[in-house]
Every structure is written in structure tokens, then in C-alpha cells.
Amino acid sequence: MRKFLAIVGREWRAYFFSPLAYVILAAFLLMNGMIFSAIVAFLNTPGAPKGQALPFLFTNTYFWIFNLFVVPIITMRLFAEERKSGTIETLLTSPISETTVVLGKFTGALLFFLTLWAPTIVYVLILRSQTPIDLGPVAAGYLAIALIGAYFLSIGTFASTLTKNQIVAAILAFAMLIPVFSAGLLESLSNDPGKRDTLGYLNLWDHMEEFSRGVVDTRRIVYYLSATAFFLFLTTVTLSAKKETP
């Protein structure tokens, strides 16, 4: 556990040693600031339905674009950087299991991802001081961000073990995230009820809307967690296999 925490701490801090973290953070705050001002403008319209604007924070198009681009950038360095520089050798010859290494790095990335979201809590507090807000859906929205974030980050972590080149790792992650994200969008294109159900199960956009309305469906949670576990398992397997070609 101490070793796990050592890795988590190093990974999380490593982000702030590169300018990338600040660029992402700034872009993210700019995007959310714009959305927030749109929400405020919406609420200022006479007759606007009170308490229903906040879900926009989670269900807008920017949210998805942001995740699809930023997650690969967060995860690209995790293993690719260590393999390129050679530090992977000392890391993997320390008395730590590969699973712990993978979980530690993944958790570090997830913490950084959540750090990006932390400032948005201020928006919620500002709105709350002005208009009644139901905190249930807000909590559900943040839960969904953490779960979908974990799912996407696990895919990115996996991609990072496939190459020594960080850019290639980012592109691979992006290429894997696109089908994961867009499979559900095919739901509306299908007439077959069986297919529609299956695709609906994968429709992240709809899931996010449900969550932000406060609907916490355990099937969704099971889907995200099992998919995350699956990709982290793949990461561990790849990491062991890649030792053959250091």
C-alpha cells in the first residue's frame, strides 16, 4: 500500500512539473467558464425553469470533446515516457507487482483528471447562493464524471504501454476512445430492437444525461467499472509481455 501511494503521489505531482498540465487546466477552465456564463445567462432569462440549468455543465458537447482529447494527453506519458527514458527498468525491478504499478499510475492520472474538475465546484456554490439547487443530481453528475473518466483513462493507460512514443500513445488512445464513445450514438440509426438495446447500454451520452438528472442506474456503474477493470488488466498483461522487448 505504501508503494502504491508512492507511485500515485509521484504520478500526480509529475503532471505539474510539465507545462502541459497548466495548458490543459487553463483550456478546461476557459471551456467551463464559457458554459457557466451560458448557464447564468439562461437563468437570467425571465421565466427560466429554476434548478434545471446545472445539468448543462455535464451534458454539453464540449464536455465530450474535452474528454476525448484531454484523456489521451493525460495518459500518454504514463508508460511510454518510462520506457523511452529507461526508468521502467528500475521501476519494474523494485519489489512491486506489475498490478500495483498499473493501479498506481492509473490512480495518479485519475486524481489529476479529478483535479481538473475540482474548480467547477465553485460554480455550483455560486449558483447555489443565488438560486435553489438540488444537490442530488449534482453529486450524481460528479460521480458519472469520475466513472466515465476512469473508463477513458484506463483505455489511455493501456494505449501508453503499447509504444515508447508518447504522441503515438495519445493517438492510439484517441483512436480507441472514438468507437467506445460513438458506438452508443448509433442507437438512433438502428431499427432492430435487440441492437438498439445493446447500443443503448453503451450510449455514454444518454448515460450522462440520466446521471445529471439524478438517475443513478447500477447497470451503468457496472459497465464502467468492469470496462475499466478490463483495460487495466490488459495493461498489466501488456506490461509483462513488453518486458521481452525493453
Partner 1 sequence: MPASARFSTGRMIEVENLTKRFPTQVAVSDVSFSVREGEIVGFLGPNGAGKTTAMRVITGFLPPTSGTVRVAGYDVMTRSEQARASLGYLPESAALYPEMRVREYLAYRARLEGVRGPDVARRVRDSIDSCLLEEVADRKVENLSKGFRQRTALAGALVHQPPVLILDEPTVGLDPTQIIKIRETIRLLGRERAVLLSTHILPEVDAVCDRVLIIDRGAIVAEGTAAELRSRLAGSPIVRASFAGQIAAREPLAGLPGVTAVSEASADGETRVRLECVTGADPREDVFRTAVARGWVLRELVLEAVSLEDVFVRLTRHEEIAPAAAVISHSAEAAAAEGASEEIPS
Determine the distance from the C-alpha atom of residue 100 to the mean position of all C-alpha atoms in its chain, rounded to a whole number: 20
What share of residues in the chain are helix, strand, coil (percent, to 5)? 80, 0, 20
Cβ neighbours of residue 204 closer than 8 Å, sequence gap 6 or more: 64, 148, 180, 181, 184
Show the cell assigned to 50: 429554476
The owner of cell 500495483 is: 100
243 makes contact with partner 1 (CB under 8 A): yes
Show the cell assigned to 16: 505539474
87 makes contact with partner 1 (CB under 8 A): yes
By residue count, the chain amounts to: 246
Interatomic CA distance for residues 200 and 85, integer angstroms: 43
95 makes contact with partner 1 (CB under 8 A): yes
Number of H helices and E strands in the chain, helices first, is 13, 0
| Pick 39 or 101: Cβ nearer partner 1 | 101
- Residues 220-239 touching partner 1, rule: CB under 8 A, are none
The piece of 1-9, 125-133, 154-162, 169-177 that touches partner 1 (CB under 8 A) is: 1-9
Interatomic CA distance for residues 237 and 65, integer angstroms: 30
14 makes contact with partner 1 (CB under 8 A): yes
Containing 187, the helix (H) or strand (E) segment is none
| Pick 87 or 130: Cβ nearer partner 1 | 87
Selected from 37, 85, 188, 226, the binder of partner 1 by CB under 8 A is: 85
91 makes contact with partner 1 (CB under 8 A): yes
Min dist. Cβ of residue 236 to partner 1 (A): 14
Min dist. Cβ of residue 112 to partner 1 (A): 15
Interatomic CA distance for residues 168 and 149, integer angstroms: 21
89 makes contact with partner 1 (CB under 8 A): yes
Site string for partner 1, 106-145 (x = CB under 8 A): ----------------------------------------
| Pick 27 or 91: Cβ nearer partner 1 | 91
Min dist. Cβ of residue 26 to partner 1 (A): 20
| Pick 37 or 87: Cβ nearer partner 1 | 87
Cβ neighbours of residue 11 closer than 8 Å, sequence gap 6 or more: 78, 104, 105, 107, 108, 109, 112
Show the cell assigned to 43: 437563468
80 makes contact with partner 1 (CB under 8 A): no
Min dist. Cβ of residue 174 to partner 1 (A): 25
Contact footprint for partner 1 (CB under 8 A): 2-3, 6-7, 10, 14, 17-18, 85-87, 89-97, 243-244, 246
